[in-house]
Structure 1
Amino acid sequence: MSEVTNSDYIAHSDQFRCGFIAIVGRPNVGKSTLMNHLIGQKISITSKKAQTTRHKVNGIYTDDEAQLIFVDTPGFQTYHRNALNDRLNQNVTEAVAGVDVIVFVVEALRFSDADREVLQKLPRHIPVVLVINKADKAKAKDAEVMQSFINEVKEEFAFAKVQIVSAKHGLGIAQLVHTLKPMLPVGIPLYPADMVTDKSSRFLAMEIVREKLFRYLGEELPYAMNVEVEQFEEDEGIYRIYIAVLVDKDSQKGILIGKNGDKLKKISTEARLDMEKLFETKVFLKVWVKVKSGWADDIRFLRELGL
């Protein structure tokens, strides 16, 4: 993070609050979409496939009353077991250990054994807010059915608060922020008021490419892939970004590239457009594929990737 001065921070009263909030839940309940709406900007990748988030991403929301620092975690993974997912599950456990509040996200009218498994891993000394997401999918159900579902989940854990939202449509987001603020400790802001993430442009570029892989490839293939930025240059008026996609097998390389290179071109083009919007500058993006057999079970290599 670049050096900042006191003038970069908002003025705050003695009652200003600042703290860390972990967003946890089983895969594919909408955690990343929720965080993107909470901070008002897309910094965490989203996909209909489970387990798109592999790194903890700090999203920062600041107003005149508080600074909420959100930690977006991978979904606890019980399928696709390998060294990668064991490391991801460990990352989640470590992330929740040092926060002030935990947001536990479940899907409306669906509470599974996978949800229960995540809940059992949460510490009991940190307040947990139950957030029921995808409420728009349950709109045809009456209030009595929803209340019955809430009561069922509340029997599993002593939640501090309950909030119903639709992260996809941005519904209930302001109310959730209002609920979380008084649960944070009084303290000065840790980041400048206009800062929305502590992640670098290099990291965000990598995540954007990975999102496109999850969106446009088959159900299993993205789980055997990872992305690394090999070069990132910030020239005046343009970013030059070179990204390698790692796959396990030669056959996977062909699937990713597609007929006449069409699939990789589509992924690269959409990623470049997203980067230009996020970075507010022109982007030259080069994406290619490298075969590294067994990377997802290579603990040393995972450490090198920061996983």
Structure 2
Amino acid sequence: MYKSGFVSIVGRPNVGKSTLLNQLLKTKLVITSPTAQTTRNTVQGILTDDEAQIVFLDTPGVHKPQDGLGSFMNANALNSMLDMDAVVLVEPVDESVGKGDKFILSRLEKVECPVFLALNKSDLASKEHLMEKLIEWQSLFDFAGIIPISAKSGDNVDELVKTLKSVLPEGEAIYPKDMITDHPEQFILAEFIRERILYFTRQEIPHDVAIVVESWEENEKEISIMAAIIVDRPSQKGIIIGKQGAMIKKIREQARRQMTRFVGKTVHLELFVKVEKNWRNKTKYLKEFGYDEDDYK
């Protein structure tokens, strides 16, 4: 009998949740970077095979919010644990258990579905250290299962999928079998721009940037996109533009290449930078830029 259901991927910032989702889907769907809290919106990725369809929700990292955007991200992540068929908590094997982990575990106590622990970076740990972490986590929470994985290399990810399938309810596919996400292409392509900005300017502009697609024209052979890069301060505008426009040119070209690979057609991309002071604390801008808590309740 065919199975289908929803699985939420949760954890602290920068533990490998988005890398895991990309590995599960065998495609670049979610942006990643060394910068914590890279993921802002819940991203649905859909894995379909002959046995089951699993709808994964990759969530923002749970953290102590410092502004309105942070509050949105936290609410987004915590609400995603509700009404799931399973939850996967991602934790790196090379980090100590901290207050943030215990806060997430306290929220998971209220979840009625099976909760699994994916111990990430297990390929880098010795057998002795891995066993110590297994015992430590088992003492903290009654997990339905603990699966050592490597989100980066894909080690044991197939075993995680097999385990999740075992707890899914019977049912037909929820989405068409050739669909890998319910997010529109505009959202995904805008995220590619933000990823390149984080990659090239992560020391100067960690979280003060948003992307707004201003225009989109598409035909069978190509897509033409104009997008605004929103920053918090004039100095950040200068950093993104760079000397004689060198930085924004580099961001545009690398983002355009990623977009072309994703959509399979030629992409023409124009970028410009706008300053909206303190936008992360203003409800008007949060909603305008796609960060609205009401959309995720």
Q: Which TM-score applies when normalising by structure 1? A: 0.91
Equivalent position of 1:33 in the other structure = 19
Aligned residue among 136, 158, 170 for 2:123: 136
Distance 1:259 1:147 in 2: 51
Distance 2:227 2:100 in 1: 34
Equivalent position of 1:109 in the other structure = 94
Q: Which runs of 5+ in 1 are unaligned?
A: 1-14
Paired residue secondary structure (1:144): helix
Q: CA deviation at 1:304?
A: 2.4
Kept after mapping to 2: 8 A contact 1:49/1:219: no
Which structure 1 residue ranges, 4+ long, deviate > 3 Å from structure 2? none
Matched, 1:94 2:97: no
Q: Which runs of 5+ in 2 are unaligned?
A: 292-297
Q: CA deviation at 1:236?
A: 2.9
Q: CA deviation at 1:235?
A: 2.1
Paired residue secondary structure (1:26): coil
Distance 2:162 2:279 in 1: 43
Identical aligned residues as a percent: 40
Q: How many residues align?
A: 289
2:26 maps to a residue whose letter is: G
1:176 maps to a residue whose letter is: L
Equivalent position of 1:293 in the other structure = 277
Matched, 1:65 2:56: no
Map of 1:40-51 to 2, 5 A cutoff? 40-51=26-37
Q: CA deviation at 1:218?
A: 2.9
Equivalent position of 2:190 in the other structure = 206
Equivalent position of 1:8 in the other structure = none
Equivalent position of 2:166 in the other structure = 182
Matched, 1:125 2:121: no
CA 1:220/1:114 → structure 2, altered by over 3 Å: closer, same or farther?
farther
Q: Which TM-score applies when normalising by structure 2? A: 0.94
Q: CA deviation at 1:220?
A: 5.2
1:21 maps to a residue whose letter is: V
Equivalent position of 2:295 in the other structure = none
Equivalent position of 1:12 in the other structure = none
Kept after mapping to 2: 8 A contact 1:213/1:222: no
Deviations for 1:237-290, whole angstroms, at most 9, x for unmatched residues?
110011111011111100111111111111111000000000000000011110
